Amino acid sequence: MKDLHSLLPHSMAATNLNSASIFLLTFALLFMVMGHEASNSGQYPVVVSTWPFLEAVRAAWRVVDNGFSAVDAVVEGCSACEELRCDGTVGPGGSPDENGETTIDALVMDGVTMEVGAVAAMRYIKDGIKAARLVMQYTEHTLLVGEQAAAFAISMGLPGPTNLSSSESMDKWTKWKENHCQPNFWKDVVPVDRCGPYHAKDFLGSSHGTCSKTTLMENIKSRSSHVGRHNHDTISMAVFDKMGNIAVGTSTNGATFKIPGRVGDGPIAGSSAYADDKVGACGATGDGDIMMRFLPCYQVVESMRLGMEPNLAAKDAISRIARKFPDFVGAVFAVNKKGVHAGACHGWTFQYSVRSPEMDDVKVYTVVP
């Protein structure tokens, strides 16, 4: 560290200052020097993402390493994943609902201002994360949904309307229909036909109640039978920029063969992702219908605020869910303000990706239940 006296302007150094003035000036200069050294400590920037979405992490890294903001980088990273249709579960062309349609959920959160923008069950617009950012930038709302979200995005300049289905998604949907619409997300119901419409089992005595008890039982199954990485996944990304500011973002086309209108945890702040500039960030993936009931990422960040290390905070959040739903499938990553990161999972093996200054390229970490 430089000699503090040498940092004084010549006119001040030559002036006889009283002891109180010297103390205050010294304190101010010390704060400035320490702050400067901290900003160049080399621990930032950092990018962390669910799954081995390497190109998405690289895209975010290029932006943040060139001095752009954490929000800019997280939008660029998630946007890259949407364009690449990562695992078929992000962006257009994947995860058809029961009607064969693909819709988009996305979120962006600024950990400095705590502003959030999100879209859910958005039709006809392929750029989910960009639409979410527009909500955050240009409205006082947090979440827009459905066709109205699409209309807003188009009015703000995003391309659309666009058919979000693909030949792959339609082929998947056709085969599912041929398999009598199994598996699905209904419970305690009976179908009028093999693919619905469905009625509550209390209708068994009505004119629609012609299905057998066996048919009813076929619709009651373990959730894990239709939840997995390649049909029920989210990119959730956290970025620390060079100033140490944090942002998180998510994008997903939701659960495959979901009931139309379903919204998962992707656009829910505190569930799929959460960030606080003073603490750190979290990203989540898995069975969003279950996970959103526990707000695991909010739990992770608050645990770290209380002094818990990222690995323990992640494990604690997952264990809270597993105690109530032992068959659930999901995972979180946690990263604190120092850039220390960890992951935890239940029901599957989880991988998350990291890029930081000491790395030459993205590194993938594997976490077992």
Active site residues: 234
- Taking the CA atoms of residue 35, residue 40, residue 42 and residue 46 in that order, the dihedral angle to the nearest 10 degrees is 80
- The answer to whether 264 is annotated as binding is yes
- The answer to whether 285 is annotated as binding is yes
Work out the number of other CB atoms within 10 angstroms of the CB of residue 18.
7
d(CA 109, CA 246): 9
d(CA 217, CA 214): 5
Three-state SS at 67: coil
Among 345, 311, 313, 312, CA closest to 329: 345
Rama region for 343: left / alpha / beta (φ>0; ψ in -120 to 50; rest) = beta
- The answer to whether 15 is annotated as binding is no
Q: Which H or E run includes 148?
A: helix 146-155
- The answer to whether 128 is annotated as binding is no
The secondary structure of 183-229, three-state, reads CCCCCCEEECCCCCCEEEHHHHHCCCCCCCHHHHHHCCCCHHHHCCC
d(CA 307, CA 266): 27
Residue with tokens 């068994």: 204
d(CA 281, CA 334): 6
Q: Which residues contact 344 (CB under 8 A, 6 or more apart)?
A: 311, 314, 315, 317, 318, 331, 332, 334, 350, 367
- The answer to whether 320 is annotated as binding is no
- The answer to whether 171 is annotated as binding is no
Q: How far is CA 13 from the centre of its chain?
A: 53
Annotated binding-site residue numbers for substrate:
262-265, 285-288
Annotated binding-site residue numbers:
262-265, 285-288
